[in-house]
C-alpha cells in the first residue's frame, strides 16, 4: 500500500495540507459535472427497462461483483430476466461488446467474465448508454438491467442507486481524491436509494432513514483451476508451502478470508486491481497457489504449462444478504416476481 493510500485511512496532517489544492480541484470538477446534469445543461438518457446501479463512492474493492452475482442468482430464482452492463475495467474494448464466458479478459475485463459465467447476458462498453442499448438489441426480452459500477456515469439515467461500502474501511478519512479515497463527498449518500455494507461496519456515518443491507462473504472449498469438481479443504494444504495471490481492490480481505478458513499462507502477494497477470507472477517455490475467482479467469488464459496450472487453486466466495435485497428492489420498482 502506497503512502497516500495509508494516509486515506490513517491521516497525516502534513499530507492533508499538501494534497488539499488537488483535492479542491477534483471537488470542483466533480461538482460542476454533477450540476451539469442536475440543472439540465447535460441530459441523461433512459433505457426502455428499469436500471439499477450497483456502485460506490470510494475507490478500491468493496464487493460490488459478489453482490451483483448474488442478485443475478436471486432474480433468476424468481424468474426475472436480468442483464448486466459494465465498463469492463482492464479490457480494451472501445465499443459495446457482449461478453461470453470464455471471452478474453484483455478485451472485456475480468469481472464481466465472472458475471457472464453466472449465465446472465453481459455487455461491456465505455459508454454505458450505448452498452445498455446494445444489450437490449441482443436480448429484447430483458425485464431489468444491473449496471456493475457506473454511479458517477450520470448520462445513464437510473431507477435505483445502490452503494456498496466496505464495513471495515468505511469512508476512510472522508476526503476526496487524492487526499482521501472518495470519488464523491459523503453527502452523496443522501441521494442514493440504499446502501449495502460489506462486513462489519456498525459505526459508519450513514444518513438517517437510508435503507441498509448487510453483506457477508461466505467462502467455499478451494477448487482446482482446471476442474471445479476437484476441491480441497483447509486441512488438505497442511504441510505444503502455500502462496496466496490477489490482484483485486482490497487484497487483505482475501488474505484474511484464507486465514479465517484455517489455511496457513507462507507468502501473500498483492498486485494492482485488474492486474494483467503473466506466468512469471507465480512464485516458483510454492507447492500450491490460491487465488480469487476474479484473478483465476485471467490466469487461466496465460498459464499453459500443466505443472503451473496444477498448482493453482481458486477460493470461491458467495455474498449473503440480510434483509432480502432482491425482494426490496422488486418492490421499489413495482415489479411482480417472474411476471
Could you tell me the end-to-end alpha-carbon distance of the chain, in angstroms, rounded to an integer? 48
Distances in whole angstroms, Cα of residue 66 to Cα of each of 13, 16, 204? 36, 33, 21
Sign of CA dihedral 173, 320, 90, 250: positive
- The three-state secondary structure class of 261 is coil
Task: State the binding site.
Answer: 58-65
Q: Grid coordinates in use for 107?
A: 478485451
Task: State the binding site for ATP.
Answer: 58-65
CA–CA gap between residue 147 and residue 83 (Å, rounded):
9
Q: Grid coordinates in use for 235?
A: 486441512
CA–CA gap between residue 125 and residue 100 (Å, rounded):
14
- The three-state secondary structure class of 231 is strand
Amino acid at each position: 500500500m502506497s503512502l497516500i493510500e495509508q494516509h486515506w485511512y490513517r491521516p497525516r496532517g502534513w499530507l492533508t495540507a499538501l494534497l488539499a489544492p488537488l483535492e479542491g480541484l477534483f471537488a470542483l470538477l466533480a461538482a460542476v459535472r454533477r450540476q451539469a446534469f442536475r440543472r439540465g445543461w447535460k441530459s441523461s438518457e433512459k433505457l426502455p427497462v428499469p436500471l439499477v446501479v450497483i456502485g460506490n463512492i470510494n475507490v478500491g474493492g468493496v464487493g460490488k461483483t459478489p453482490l451483483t452475482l448474488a442478485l443475478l442468482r436471486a432474480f433468476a430464482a424468481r424468474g426475472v430476466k436480468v442483464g448486466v452492463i459494465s465498463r469492463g475495467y482492464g479490457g480494451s474494448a472501445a465499443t459495446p461488446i457482449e461478453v461470453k464466458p470464455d471471452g478474453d479478459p484483455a478485451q472485456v475485463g475480468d469481472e464481466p467474465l465472472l458475471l457472464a459465467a453466472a449465465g446472465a447476458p453481459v455487455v461491456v462498453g465505455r459508454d454505458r448508454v450505448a452498452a445498455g442499448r446494445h444489450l437490449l438489441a441482443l436480448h429484447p426480452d430483458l425485464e431489468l438491467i444491473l449496471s456493475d459500477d457506473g454511479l458517477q456515469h450520470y448520462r445513464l439515467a437510473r431507477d435505483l442507486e445502490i452503494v456498496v461500502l466496505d464495513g471495515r474501511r468505511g469512508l476512510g478519512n472522508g476526503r476526496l481524491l487524492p487526499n482521501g479515497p472518495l470519488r464523491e463527498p459523503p453527502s452523496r449518500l443522501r441521494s442514493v436509494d440504499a446502501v449495502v455494507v460489506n462486513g462489519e461496519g456498525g459505526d459508519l456515518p450513514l444518513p438517517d432513514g437510508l435503507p441498509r443491507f448487510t453483506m457477508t462473504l461466505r467462502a467455499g472449498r478451494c477448487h482446482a483451476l482446471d476442474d471445479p469438481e476437484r476441491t480441497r479443504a483447509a486441512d488438505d494444504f497442511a504441510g505444503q508451502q502455500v502462496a496466496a495471490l490477489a490482484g483485486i481492490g482490497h487484497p487483505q480481505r482475501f488474505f484474511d478470508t484464507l486465514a479465517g478458513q484455517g489455511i496457513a499462507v507462507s507468502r501473500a502477494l498483492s498486485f494492482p486491481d485488474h492486474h494483467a497477470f503473466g506466468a512469471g507472477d507465480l512464485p516458483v517455490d510454492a507447492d500450491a497457489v490460491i487465488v480469487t475467482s476474479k484473478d483465476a479467469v485471467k490466469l487461466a488464459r496465460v498459464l499453459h504449462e500443466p505443472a503451473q496450472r496444477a498448482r493453482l487453486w481458486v477460493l470461491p466466495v458467495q455474498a449473503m444478504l440480510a434483509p432480502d435485497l432482491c425482494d426490496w428492489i422488486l418492490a421499489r420498482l413495482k415489479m411482480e416476481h417472474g411476471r
